[in-house]
Chains A and B, each alone.
Chain A
Amino acid sequence: MAKVWIPALLRGMAGGQSEIELPGETVRALIDQLEARYPGIRERLIEDDRLRPNIAVVVDGTRSRQGLRQPVGEHSEVHFVPAISGG
């Protein structure tokens, strides 16, 4: 099961939990699992079938460019973080 860190501003929807272990082989599958447990959380992360433009997903310490299609390992750690830019 992958460990998903729930963004601080969404923890109110998740009963205050900061992390949860979920089954799933992709980021999309994990978000589906989150939605099943905490209805409404998917639309806070996804817009037009993609991660919202200002959100990036980090899997096992690496920011993914595959977004929802990013594969997730059985013991992966997943974070949703702001998409940042450099100069």
Chain B
Amino acid sequence: MPSETPTVEKADSVRADSVRPVYRVVGTRPIRPDGVDKVTGRAIFGADVRLSGLLHGRVLRSPHAHARIKSIDTRAAEALPGVKAVITGQDFPDPQNKAATSGEGTVNLRSLAHNCIARDKVLYFGHAVAAVAAATPNIAEEAIKLIKVDYEVLPHVLDVCEAMRPDAPLLHEDLRTNEMGQRAGAPSNVANHTRHERGNVDQAFAEAAVVVEREFRTSMVHQGYIEPQNGTALWNADGQISVWCSTQAPFDERNQIAEIVGAPVSKIKVTPTEIGGGFGGKLSVFLEPLAAMLSKKAGHRPVKMVMNRAEVLAATAPTSGSCIRVKMGADQNGRIVAAQAWMAYEAGAFPGSPVDAGAGVIFAPYRIPNVLIDAYDVVVNKPRAGAYRAPGGTNAAFASESVIDELAEKLGIDPLEFRILNGAREGDRRADGPVYKRIGFIETAQAAKAHPHYQAPLAPSRLDPEGKNPAIKRGRGVAAGFWFNWGGKSSAWASLNPDGTVSLVEGSPDIGGSRASIAMQLAESLGVRAEDVKPAVVDTDSVGYNDATGGSRVTFGTGWVAYRLGEKLKQQLKERAALLWDVAPDQVHAEAGVFSSNGHSITLKELAARLDETGGPIVASDSFQSDEYGPGFGVHIVDLEVDTETGKVQILRYTAAQDVGCAIHPSYVEGQLQGGVAQGIGWALNEEFVYDAEGHLLNASFLDYRIPTALDLPMIDTVLVEVPNPGHPYGVRGVGETPIVPPAGAVANAISRAIGVRMTALPMSPARILEALGQVRGAER
């Protein structure tokens, strides 16, 4: 289908500005440039990489949650025919204890290096201890079984609250709690403490008409991407290192590999292959430095490493389990007067949980005069926690949105009306300090309230369509969510082809349809069709620096660059037209791909065909960073039913409304909302890491770690609310993270209204539902 169709206002789209700009490309739904290759299997993913002389690598992983490595004997493995190299932590330099960019934040390079391969201690079940490169995957697999590791098993700690106790086993003897630049005297598993405080919460609670206080627990969960981590590396004899891998952050990974293997960054080229899902889990390296070092040690032959599912679950970067206590109070008019949160997040084996982001999210949708938030980053004997879509936000909103719902219930106010009454507007101060610029929370909540879903009675039961089974209870819940979004640095270049098309070279891996959304912004600004822009994502030697594809930044940040490229190409074309007509360039007018001046007129395609006679090729490059990214808000509605005999929860109807700024390609924006909701529902109802008493992961497969399938979910309705971000030429706001924030809270609130019990732990599995019901029934007896 051609994209040159006028923008069509859909029924599920709400535009906040009174006069929508007229766009030719933005807001349409062209076919994605990478679509055919992906549906026909031609797209090259990491596991598809083939190189001459390729070896295959495997990793030996720790069977213990916490142990000291006394010795490693690799002689038997090295002697196995077909084995070309064996490495341990001793083969790597020890990076400095310093921070480097990773996504929006930073990562400690020493921690990252020690996570890739253990040095003196293993810190979680699955921690890498040694690696082998061999002629075949089977030989490599056999070889790692021949490596003998002598461990001194140490006491371990898995629970965040237990890890905070003074007598808890210490993961890092040199770790001291950091409180805004001040280190505590004694070692601790608490890596960091942050506080936000405004007003006087004690006084406000004392004067409040209603106060609700609860403690919540959430389990460690995984992003659940389909494509496992992988990495192929060639450490050439001339010192050049080439890496092919599935990554959201090729430039960050280039820096990380350089530090971990001890090579200059200029010697490393990272080629991002297609990516089968990341969601924050592919922002840092796991296998890539091991593959590089194996390649060097194996005589400069390329080495490919691909994780299996058990390794992905046990030893990559799931997101934190947490313990959160929330207390909120409101006056008799329904105004929230105070909010307090105590938040402790599991960081896994190394500091760096997303608790600070959670602290920013937890009360963000609301105007609250008195706030106190304490946030703790705590190491435990689990895999190092990573980002997962709005990292830290889902845990936080599960807690705060449950308490807000209970406040509304106690006050007898409609839960959406309560949120609108207390909702943050432009000029309000966020709970963690800064003042909001133009935001769309109120418009989003109002759109949700006006939606046919909220106006309709509860959706019909699937298990009990005639309503005769008293064991089937139905309920409706709502919840709100927030994410900061991000701008970051982007670079790209574009060249005009003689047929009037444009080749766009970018460095942002496409994890959510961004090839399309970036190309469309260039097409809009230049005045060509979306199909006339051919985007390519290239390696780190072939384009300028790009920050990670993460933080919901690419359609905003790289989109800004695409817009500027279009303007730069257009200016050069004006100069060429001016030459043809012997006029000044500023006398040439460009509109929708047609250049005109004083009665002359020429199309872009005609002008492109005359490049040689007007000065030769037209190329533009750009690097740009805007800090004016607008935050996003979402409001979700869910209808569900609970089988009180089995504890099973069935989602009946789900609607997600979100302020998306401007939907460049509405289909992909809707897909982002639907994907976030699907993952959020899995987190709410089923997903959790299950460890035994010894710290062994028990459910390291997709049979036992249960992510939702199409059979578990209804069609998820979306409402795209467009409150344009004044910091972007088309009003774009990031959209990928906000939609995972509200689902757990919305589902919890619906379950509460269905069965009359507040659920305070994730996942709200059948066992937990039955346990909660049992407590109520026991109390009734």
Contact = CB atoms under 8 A, between A and B. Distances in A.
Contact of A43 (B181, B359, B432): B181
Interface string A11-25: 100000010000000
A3 to B, nearest CB: 11
A19 to B, nearest CB: 10
A65 B629 CA distance: 13
B198 A86 contact: no
A65 B387 contact: no
A86 B181 contact: no
A36 interface: no
A61 B360 contact: no
A73 B343 CA distance: 35
Contacts of B105: 54, 83-85
Given A10-B180, A54-B106, A84 B357 contact: yes
Contacts of A64: 627
Interface string B98-110: 0100111110000
B359 A82 contact: yes
**What range describes how many residues of B lie at the interface?**
35 or more
B484 interface: yes
A58 B435 CA distance: 10
A29 B199 CA distance: 27
Contacts of B178: 54
Contact of B99 (A5, A43, A53, A81): A53
Interface stretch (B187-195, B208-216, B579-587, B754-762): B187-195
Main SS at interface, chain B: loop
B356 interface: yes
B433 A86 contact: no
Contact of B106 (A18, A53, A77, A87): A53
Contact of A83 (B106, B181, B386, B432): B106
Given A44-B181, A81-B433, A85-B551, A54 B192 contact: yes
Nearest to A84: B357
B281 to A, nearest CB: 8
Contacts of A11: 197
B370 to A, nearest CB: 12
B437 interface: yes
Given A18-B198, A87-B551, A47 B181 contact: yes
B197 A8 contact: yes
A61 B627 CA distance: 10
A82 B360 CA distance: 9
A81 B104 CA distance: 14
Interface in A41-87: 43-45, 47, 52-55, 58, 60-65, 77, 79, 81-87
A9 B180 contact: yes
B365 interface: no
A10 B192 CA distance: 14
Nearest to B486: A86
A8 B106 CA distance: 22
Given A9-B193, A85-B105, A86-B551, A61 B181 contact: no
Nearest to A58: B434
A53 B98 CA distance: 9
Interface in B387-442: 387-392, 432-437
Contacts of A43: 181
A83 B192 CA distance: 13
Contacts of B485: 86
A84 B354 contact: yes
Given A7-B180, A53-B99, A64-B627, A86 B553 contact: yes
B552 interface: yes
Given A8-B195, A61-B437, A65-B625, A83 B180 contact: no
A85 B357 contact: yes
A67 to B, nearest CB: 12
Contacts of B387: 85-87
Contacts of A5: 433
Q: Which 9 A-B pairs have the closest CB atoms?
A: A87-B280, A86-B551, A85-B105, A44-B181, A87-B387, A82-B356, A53-B99, A8-B197, A8-B195
Interface of B: 99, 102-106, 178-182, 192-198, 223, 278-281, 283, 354, 356-357, 359-360, 375, 386-392, 432-437, 483-486, 550-553, 625, 627-628, 737
Given A10-B180, A86-B485, 4 more contacts: A84-B104, A85-B104, A85-B387, A86-B103
Interface of A: 5, 7-11, 18, 43-45, 47, 52-55, 58, 60-65, 77, 79, 81-87
